A and B are shown apart, each in its own frame.
Chain A
Amino acid sequence: MSDATLPAMPVFPAPRRMGHGAFWLACAVAALALIAVLRGIGSEYAYFAATFVLQYVVLATAWNILGGYAGYVNFGAAAFFAAGAYTTVAIGKALGLSLLPCIGFAALVGGALGLGTGLLTLRLRGAYFAIATLCLSVVLQTLVVNWNYVGGSRGAYVIRPRDIPWPFDTYSGYLCAVAVVLAAAAIAIARTIEKSRLGLGLAALRDDEQAAEAAGVPTLRLKLIATTISGAMMAVAGAPLPLLGSYVEPTSAFGLAYAVNAIAMPLIGGTASWAGPLIGAVLLSSLQQAATVTISSAANLLIVGVVLVVFVCAAPHGILGLFRKGGR
């Protein structure tokens, strides 16, 4: 008997998934638990290392919204990340605001930058789009290098506030808690997008833009939404950076490491799901942090390169792809 004559499956086709509200709640609980564990450890280095890893969780998750869900590879992640960092420097200096409002401003700046980039480049595809986003990084870095207000090429020192928000006993602990919350929020946003109508439309246009249009998907509008959200989140990832090291300068803020990691982490974890960038970011940034402590920070990009080559050859759908039926 051919499959064409089989009766319809009596079961409901889509497996039941955790609702959006429940997932956000789970993220909040996980974030609180992680903050409690880190406070339990209480070491400055643990706070720093965790903040380092978590900033990459946010960056990789943000990149994946456009690069993974919509299939538009953005080589300009460092530009958005640095835009967030320099927003903190500029707003902090101009208005004297603390970190949290600066993160809000960074989201606005990153979102506007993402929307503008999208309007200018989203009619391009493939390598052309990727090159255009690379140019964004060069243009923005040139602007910052020549902008004396934020330190120009010399960079800017950012003094951590003396008042440490309750209930934290050190500013590093506070920064780390902020990073945990940002990472949890980024994951929840990514998962909400992925399981929503927006995520379905992005997946359709990723596979075939013309067919998606023919199915009623407003592809340009969806891509603009994705670039805006992704840009805002990448800038948010960079916003705490000046306070993490108390110093920021263009060469490191626009560094190749951010652009490469933002792409490599989702590719290694798997781009089709919110969990992929999380796994990739935790794995790669932990490895890099360990290499920094034990060997040298110069080994970081080498590690990324080697791991990326291994995964591209052995697991082109990332770690998640190894466990999914049909290589989805």
Chain B
Amino acid sequence: MSEIVLRADGVGKRFGGFTALSGVNLEVRAGERLGLIGPNGSGKSTFTNCLAGAFPSHDGGFTFKGQKLAGLKSHERARRGLARTFQLPRPFRGLSVFENIRVPLAYAGRHEATEERAMECLEAVELAGKAQRMPKELTQVELRRLELARATALKPELLIADEAMAGLSHAEVDQILALLFRLNAGGTTIIMIEHVMRAVTEFSQRLAVLVAGKKVADGDPRTVLSMPEVEEAYLGR
């Protein structure tokens, strides 16, 4: 069995009096494809933000590749190989598609920041032909691909794809799925946070379910999706 690349130990996060995450434990193994699901407001994005360093967690913490992440800023986590995408694409709108990829290449310092390397990243998401375009000229699915290309330019060991397929058509979901499968085949561990259940079940080797900030299930996708507490969370009593 492959080594554990990420461990969350009792992660908790509060916003004033509201508890967004409470005692979340999770282990992710190298090369794994984990689906993290839950209804709206269940804490998936808060979990991502705590893991990526955008928010500090109030309780517990994360261990990535054997090192504690507490106290590390987002950019330091990114440089250690922890990449994320955002729910809504957040390109650098004043920079061209090519320059968007140059940013992580220039700053993450995980490999040579050459123009050839930037083009490789764009070719991997089939955006090489639009390298000199501005983000506002891209379609929604192209923006998603740009988001993924920017994350993969970090050469991550763990990628958190936060609702990378939201709002996409059936065919576009397939395009993004194919990209994620390719990345995973290249050795990248992927946590997919998604509401498109077809994509989640097709992609994930394992599913973890968050409900109201707590992990209620973790295991084989078919087993997890048939659990009464998961059905209840999605469909109600």
* Residue A159 lies at the interface, judged by CB distance under 8 Å to chain B: no
Known: A214-B83, A272-B94. A9 touches B136 (CB 8 A): no
The answer for the CA separation of A203 and B84 in the assembled complex, in Å, is 20
Whether B126 contacts A4 by the Cβ 8 Å rule is yes
Whether B107 contacts A215 by the Cβ 8 Å rule is yes
Whether A210 contacts B54 by the Cβ 8 Å rule is yes
B residues in contact (CB < 8 Å) with A: 52-54, 73-75, 78-79, 83-84, 86, 90-96, 98-99, 102-104, 106-109, 115, 118-119, 122-123, 126, 128-134, 136-137, 142, 150-151, 153-154, 175
**Segment 204-254 of A: residues with Cβ below 8 Å from B:** 204, 206-208, 210-220
Known: A8-B123, A214-B74, A216-B79. A204 touches B103 (CB 8 A): yes
The answer for the CA separation of A328 and B94 in the assembled complex, in Å, is 6
The answer for the CA separation of A268 and B37 in the assembled complex, in Å, is 49
Contact partners of B132 in chain A: CB under 8 A: 13
Known: A4-B126, A12-B115. A217 touches B83 (CB 8 A): no
Whether A212 contacts B103 by the Cβ 8 Å rule is yes
A residues in contact (CB < 8 Å) with B: 3-9, 12-14, 197, 200-201, 203-204, 206-208, 210-220, 272, 326, 328
Q: Give me the 8 closest cross-chain CB pairs, A-B, nearest first.
A: A8-B128, A213-B74, A216-B108, A13-B131, A216-B107, A215-B104, A207-B92, A216-B78
**Complex partner residue of B92 from A212, A216, A272, CB under 8 angstroms:** A212
Whether A207 contacts B94 by the Cβ 8 Å rule is yes
Contact partners of B137 in chain A: CB under 8 A: 326
Whether A9 contacts B129 by the Cβ 8 Å rule is yes
Known: A213-B53, A216-B78, A328-B94. A200 touches B106 (CB 8 A): yes
Contact partners of A197 in chain B: CB under 8 A: 106-107
Whether A201 contacts B107 by the Cβ 8 Å rule is yes
Whether B115 contacts A217 by the Cβ 8 Å rule is no
Most buried by A among B99, B103, B126, B128: B103
Contact partners of B136 in chain A: CB under 8 A: 326
Q: In angstroms, how far is the closest chain A Cβ from the Cβ of B160?
A: 10
Contact partners of B154 in chain A: CB under 8 A: 215-216
Whether A8 contacts B103 by the Cβ 8 Å rule is no
Whether B75 contacts A218 by the Cβ 8 Å rule is yes
Q: In angstroms, how far is the closest chain B Cβ from the Cβ of A139?
A: 30
Whether A8 contacts B129 by the Cβ 8 Å rule is yes
Whether B78 contacts A215 by the Cβ 8 Å rule is yes
Contact partners of A7 in chain B: CB under 8 A: 129
Known: A206-B94, A211-B90, A214-B78. A200 touches B103 (CB 8 A): yes
The answer for the CA separation of A99 and B35 in the assembled complex, in Å, is 66
Known: A13-B119, A14-B98. A207 touches B93 (CB 8 A): yes
Whether A9 contacts B102 by the Cβ 8 Å rule is no
Among residues of A, the one whose C-beta sits closest to the C-beta of B107 is: A216
Whether B115 contacts A14 by the Cβ 8 Å rule is yes
The answer for the CA separation of A5 and B92 in the assembled complex, in Å, is 24
Among residues of B, the one whose C-beta sits closest to the C-beta of A222 is: B107
Most buried by A among B75, B79, B84, B150: B75
The answer for the CA separation of A215 and B134 in the assembled complex, in Å, is 18
Q: In angstroms, how far is the closest chain B Cβ from the Cβ of A320?
A: 13
The answer for the CA separation of A316 and B195 in the assembled complex, in Å, is 39
Contact partners of B92 in chain A: CB under 8 A: 203-204, 207-208, 211-212
The answer for the CA separation of A216 and B126 in the assembled complex, in Å, is 23
The answer for the CA separation of A211 and B115 in the assembled complex, in Å, is 21
